[in-house]
Structure 1
Amino acid sequence: FYYTGKFRMPADDRSKSWWVQAEVIVSALRMYRQTNDPRYLAIFESTFDFVETNLVDWQVGEWHSTVTAQGVAQGDKANAWKAGYHNGRSMIECIEILKAWKSQ
Structure 2
Amino acid sequence: VWAADKTDNPETAVKGLLEGVKATMGLFESRMREHGLVPMPAEGEEFNPEFHEAVEIVAVPAEQDNKVVAEFQPGYKYGEKLLRPARVRVGRASS
State the TM-score bracket (shorter-chain normalisation): under 0.3
More helix as a share of residues: 1
TM-score normalised by the chain length of structure 2: 0.26
Identify the structure with the greater strand proportion.
Answer: 2
**Rg larger in 1 or in 2?**
2
